[in-house]
Amino acid sequence: MLTDVRELLGRSLFHRVAGPDGPATRARIHGTPGPRWFGPDRPIRTVHGDASMFIGGIAALLLQSLHPLAMAAVAAHSGYRGDPWGRLQRTSTFLAVTTYGTADDAQRAVDHVRAIHERIRGRTAEGLEYHAGDPHLLGWVHAAETHCFLRAHRRYGAHPLDTAGYDAYVADTARVAEALGVLDPPRDLRELSERLTAYRPELRAGADARAAARFLLVRPPLPLAARPFYGGLAANAVALLPPWARSMLWLPRLPVVDALAVRPAGHALTRTIRWAMTPPPQRRDGD
């Protein structure tokens, strides 16, 4: 029965993240022969393949929303409210293809995203122009995402890396960022920290950012039975945010609660996800 529960939970999680075509996409990504952007020993594979990404992904969306131009583009063009799971599945597929797929597949995925970005233009409610293909705006999205994925893995990863490993992870992500159009992306932890600091004067939590936070944290499109599980992931995502980002989004910072309840729940949840999504060992005849 435990094996049945594991398989059911694993399939359900994978379907949510990868969509109905997930098994075929996974087989194509991992089974197609050819050179890759990243070899099997690269840190980007370690980080992006870990269950901590469930927490890091939520944190990244919250942090990215604090740039008003990025948030305006998301609110107007991404369809995150009408099709949140579709957006998640497209994002996870892009990460999987660029991290594990062949170089040709990775380049095609990047070209597709760049073509979409090129078409996304508009104005904020204050009249400021935005363009999703703007290298400066892409630089913020990349820095926020890398920061959150890295912090989530450092805290909840099955096998956290040392400082040199995380420096190398930032360098790996820079390869993808440059392909997407980011100019001079950070290549180590120091540069990543400096880049986030440099964007601080441009950040604020407008109405769209707070609406996105409410959608992600209070009204997620999930059945009631799944909400406690998701709520634990979301609470840990909030705990990963820098204090200044939590303040901007009016999210409380309760260090004692984080230490005694939120963080232990995060470890338990990521262990459960890891257990569910790792195929059980094959039984041998006679076992």
Question: Would you state the structure tokens that stand for residue 133, as one six-digit string?
Answer: 């293909």
**Does the pTM of the predicted model rise above 0.85?**
yes
Sequence-distant contacts of 226-233: CB under 8 A, at least 24 apart = 229/269, 232/262, 232/265, 232/266, 232/268, 232/269, 233/54, 233/55, 233/58, 233/266, 233/269
Question: Average pLDDT, stretch 70-90?
Answer: 79
pLDDT in tens, 152-200: 999 999 999 999 999 999 999 999 999 999 999 999 999 999 999 999 9
The first and second tokens of residue 89, run together, are: 């599945």
- Ramachandran assignment for 214, one of left (phi > 0), alpha (psi -120 to 50 degrees), beta (any other): alpha
- Judged against a pLDDT cut of 60, whether residue 131 lies above it is answered with yes
Q: Are 184 and 91 in contact (CB under 8 A)?
A: no
